Structure 1
Amino acid sequence: MQANDGLKAGWVLEGEQPLKKKGPGRGLHQSDVICSTVGWLLEASQTLKYGKNYDGYWTGELFIKQLVEKIIPAFENAHSLGYQALIMVDNSQGHSAYPVDALHVSEMNLRPGGKQCCLCNGWFIHDGQRVTQPMIFSPDHPKFPDAPKRIKQVLEERGLWQVGMHLECAKPKCLVDATSCFAKCVLGLQPDFTEQKSLVQEVIEAVGHMCIFLSKFYYNLLKALASVDVKTIWQWEHQMIQWMDAYREGKGIAPSQSL
């Protein structure tokens, strides 16, 4: 949102035009939380004066900081011990970022060479047993001591490497049900990679709470947040529960939403 803090009127000499700002004022980024039990959590609110010459821009790191220092403490202060939060997060690019050591094939090369992050340990199932797989070579490795493993090495250790396999599919577009046409596809479909959580989810779950990601949307102004009555939140929450129960029972859209 914009501050709209420009002058509305002023004095100028006859025949001259006032010099006005080119924009509607300083930009403000607002990150807020509405709780279904107490309403708007004012203590969790975070305002950023965005711009190169101000506070910078909103990032995933700033949201993590807000989670740890404001959102989670505000929820826990508003409720007694034993309550668990289900935090529904706006699915923006910054909020869905992964940890720097996340198991993510987009951060990996096919063969040794080039820059690559050091990933956390992975795992795979062998003969019914879960096997931990380090993603970094051992310190005494003859060729790559303490170096991150590439996709080919990881797949070879899992018995999944195929001779002639490329990093990505050479075709303009892979088949919808393709599972083994290129190395990134094979490794990316492994359970340890598919179960990789975002940094936001890891932080929330580390302190005993839960989270789900919603479709991307934009917050309204602070007045709109403050004007939402708790009873309205309760009513919509109960309505959603009724709709979900109806869908689980196999009812169609019209019967479900007529409840």
Structure 2
Amino acid sequence: MNLSPRGAQPKMRNGWYINENGKKLVHLMVFPDNHKLKGKLKGIKHVLTEQKGIRLMCEQYFGKQDDIDSERLDCCARRIMSLQPDFCEQRSILEEAIIKAGHIFERYPKFHCECNFIERYWGFAKRKTRRLCNYNYNDLLLQVPEVLISVPVTTIHKFACKSWRYMDAYNKGLEGRTAEWAVSKYKSHRRLPDNIEKIMDDLD
């Protein structure tokens, strides 16, 4: 969303805001039919003017994301807009598609692919694809879907169990190599012992 109505901007659905009387009002994100810019996205400046938002820009937003003061709520237009309740409640396109299909949308911790068993499924499929690969692109297009379907459900279940053991280890306070050791040590169990931290202390 640009600061002004200029430039190429994707169309947005209507938002909402709470006015000074505490009433929830629908907010049009595009100009109405009786406006000279009908159908165009309003832009941050126009939207915040309608919502009584004040400042338009600050130096922080021209710098690195890490330099932004996360505790400031009113530094500029971009910050104010990002904190509006209708923007905060907006789901991503991926989340909306998954929920619409009747599935559960769940985020995994960043940089912890061991918690997501689909990574092991993809790794298994890639390894099998490499073994069967004849380095012909057209054959590969046919081969990949077949390989993905061929992974046994029992194998996928094992991948899921291993991921749950990692989550269990992290929940019990283990980290890094100690978590990896515990997951391997208790792979025949459904979960790690409740006293795993004491066991690790005794080993030290």
* TM-score, normalization by structure 2: 0.55
Answer whether contact 1:169 1:182 (CA < 8 A) is retained: no
Cα RMSD (Å) of the superposition? 3.3
The farther-off stretch of 129-138 and 227-236 is: 227-236
Q: How far off its partner does 1:161 sit?
A: 2.4
Report what 1:117 is aligned to.
10
Unaligned runs of 5+ residues in structure 1 are: 1-107, 247-252
Residues 179 and 258 of structure 1, relative CA distance in 2, 3 Å threshold:
same
Residue 258 (structure 1) aligned with residue 196 (structure 2): yes
Q: How far off its partner does 1:155 sit?
A: 0.5
Q: How far off its partner does 1:129 sit?
A: 2.8
Report what 2:22 is aligned to.
128
The structure with the largest strand share of the pair is 1
Q: How far off its partner does 1:115 sit?
A: 2.1
Answer whether contact 1:122 1:132 (CA < 8 A) is retained: yes
Residues 168 and 230 of structure 1, relative CA distance in 2, 3 Å threshold:
same
Report what 1:197 is aligned to.
91
The structure with the largest helix share of the pair is 2
* TM-score, normalization by structure 1: 0.45
Name the amino acid aligned to 1:228: T
Unaligned runs of 5+ residues in structure 2 are: 114-118, 129-150, 175-192, 198-204
Aligned equivalents of 1:180 and 1:243: distance in 2? 37
Report what 2:143 is aligned to.
none
Aligned equivalents of 2:51 and 2:60: distance in 1? 21
Aligned equivalents of 1:116 and 1:232: distance in 2? 42
The equivalent position to 1:166 in structure 2, one of 54, 57, 61, is 57
Residues 132 and 229 of structure 1, relative CA distance in 2, 3 Å threshold:
closer
Residues 258 and 150 of structure 1, relative CA distance in 2, 3 Å threshold:
same
Residues 239 and 171 of structure 1, relative CA distance in 2, 3 Å threshold:
closer
Q: How far off its partner does 1:209 sit?
A: 2.2
Name the amino acid aligned to 1:220: G
Aligned equivalents of 1:117 and 1:167: distance in 2? 24
Any residues of structure 2 matched to 1:1-259 within 5 Å, and which? 108-126=1-19, 127-141=21-35, 143-162=36-55, 165-166=56-57, 169=60, 172=63, 173-214=67-108, 215=110, 217=113, 219-222=122-125, 226=152, 228=155, 230=157, 233-234=160-161, 237=164, 240=167, 244=171, 253-254=173-174, 258=196
Higher relative CO (Cα under 8 Å, sequence separation at least 6) belongs to: 1
Q: How far off its partner does 1:187 sit?
A: 0.2
Residue 179 of structure 1 aligns to a residue whose secondary structure is: coil
